[in-house]
Structure 1
């Protein structure tokens, strides 16, 4: 039996449809039939050759939801439920060693030096080949953390929980707003939408979103943003004046950068109040530097600037439950669906932001 997958063989070149021999899993692995694969902004960065972790040739796709096709050994999900053929599952995209300093002492497995990620840091030139979600099937290694989905939900609605949702959950697990706080979100994409709902869940009173895409900003309103500011229709000074007016001259309590561009950092830090927090989630690849006035922007403000790198299984759990409790909202986030063969077009649409969230349906 053969399985089709879209392979990135050269950066900035169309993905190529390849067939791989499909065999029963061995060595304790799990064979999963992909039901939906998310097209993430990080995939567009990899496609362009901007992610130093990428190893060509490779099958892109680190966001996946699928059904168990075949099992080698005994598999249980994070609840301890035995997995069976036909079960719908979502999995932690990152695989860690579980025994290093970061995994065991600091309990920060997302910093594991041996961590690798499906569809990002593994190639497809060695058996069993299928390690990315832009494929009909994927093999999961034995120590992959899996969550069995028993709720009735369309797989494409859940798929973003494994990356955008989990990364955002990591941010709020690190620093969360107090009841009544004002939260600023820079970037109205999938991470920004998750951030709106997490901010509401933690009790934020005002949720302000800055972005440059009308469709995405309108969706932010549907998700619960109280104010949206189009950066193409406002100046830096105008946005600052509006935000200072809302916060009675103090600035926001918490700002979340979900853009991945230095200009967002330059603006956002100055909009945070004294003693506030700035979380940077958006830099999934090297994308320039920013100059910060260490006295006025950091020390004098007693500002906490916190980077957020990927996520762990706890954060996948948090994000998946957020989606399961808000199915209809997240269904709206899926603005484009593509066939597996249309993966290159899906990447292009994500790169130019003509879609909010794109999903491949193999």
Structure 2
């Protein structure tokens, strides 16, 4: 039997281990076997490595992956959009599968909160067959029901993985909070989610965009993406001076919409203050449990804020991201985000590079 190498999280906050797993090529109906060509290192992977989200360990990390179809199970003939699938096709897939039958899927139409939702690189213990359910591996076995998308010939892996789950997540979040033509938008965070939210805000008609974050290389990328102004955490080290600087760009009343894309709880109460009265605040970056934070709810009442959260994304947002990346400008900018490339054997180094905020986007090339 063929074997596949994979990088496995065996213990929280310990180096990933390179392991080998049997590669079962006898597919069940609806399954697909894909060769992983590129796997993105998401900030969420760092949170998972820290143990900030309950997941089964050991686990093969990696929920931002793309590759080529090696084999199709019986009955799997078309992708999510209806395009014909065949061996050798370049594809990307939605990271999670939902049941379609539970209270949240069917009654409340909130499938991202499906009671049986499982995500590649997060929900599957690698000790359990068929093992290969994460992107940090040479091969991945895609379950029946996975939303698979055939990639256009002119869309490189660097663009789709450079955008990663961040663009899908941003599309879902901005859809939920709602942006109006001419809005002034502040984005907290200059990492992949922040840059994706910036791109979506610009395409949604924002009249002015301000990005608050760091380090310097990420703020430079935000300017290249089209931010009207950036506010450095290093240059403006306290919430009070950042508020003053942001209002210098937004006007004395603050932003119409603030998008939190940081992942650190302290960003949230600061973000409330960046909103104008009657403004909107979206919590987008708090995917893992990074701890509690104190805030005064009187601020929400006094400012009459609309505060909303957004969790993950649906398959339709993956299609939206592919269509978004059809624009040459965004296709090139998101591909440019890929600044660090690693082999599978260097998976721990890749994860640590992201943890230290040294990369735009780090990827593994299995």
Give the shorter-chain TM-score range. Answer: over 0.9
Quick check: 1:261 aligned with 2:264? yes
Match of 1:317 in 2: 319
Match of 2:247 in 1: 244
Match of 2:288 in 1: 285
Alpha-carbon distance, 1:333 to partner = 0.5
Instruction: Map 1:87-166 to 2 at 5 A.
Output: 87-166=89-168
The one of 351, 357, 360 aligned to 2:361: 357
> Considering only aligned residues, what root-mean-square deviation do their CA atoms show, in Å?
1.3
Please give the alpha-carbon distance, in whole angstroms, between the structure 1 residues aligned to 2:293 and 2:13. 27
Alpha-carbon distance, 1:262 to partner = 2.1
Give unmatched runs, 5+ long, in structure 1: none
Query: Is the deviation greater in 204-213 or in 72-81?
Result: 72-81
Secondary structure of the corresponding residue to residue 146 of structure 2: coil
Query: Is the deviation greater in 227-236 or in 350-359?
Result: 227-236
Aligned residues: 360
Secondary structure of the corresponding residue to residue 179 of structure 1: coil
Quick check: 1:211 aligned with 2:213? yes
Q: 1:328 to 1:162 in 2, by over 3 A?
A: closer
Quick check: 1:225 aligned with 2:227? yes
CA contact (8 A) 2:163 2:334 kept: no
Q: CA offsets per residue over residues 283-305 of structure 1, 9 Å max, x none? A: 1211122223222x112222111
Q: 1:49 to 1:294 in 2, by over 3 A?
A: closer
Give unmatched runs, 5+ long, in structure 2: none
Please give the alpha-carbon distance, in whole angstroms, between the structure 1 residues aligned to 2:187 and 2:353. 23
Please give the alpha-carbon distance, in whole angstroms, between the structure 2 residues aligned to 1:219 and 1:162. 16
Alpha-carbon distance, 1:46 to partner = 1.2
Please give the alpha-carbon distance, in whole angstroms, between the structure 1 residues aligned to 2:41 and 2:259. 22
Alpha-carbon distance, 1:160 to partner = 4.4
CA contact (8 A) 2:59 2:124 kept: yes
Secondary structure of the corresponding residue to residue 284 of structure 1: coil
The one of 297, 300, 303 aligned to 2:302: 300
Alpha-carbon distance, 1:162 to partner = 4.6
Quick check: 1:21 aligned with 2:19? no
Query: Is the deviation greater in 316-325 or in 277-286?
Result: 316-325
After TM superposition, the score normalised by the length of structure 1 is: 0.96
CA contact (8 A) 1:9 1:57 kept: yes
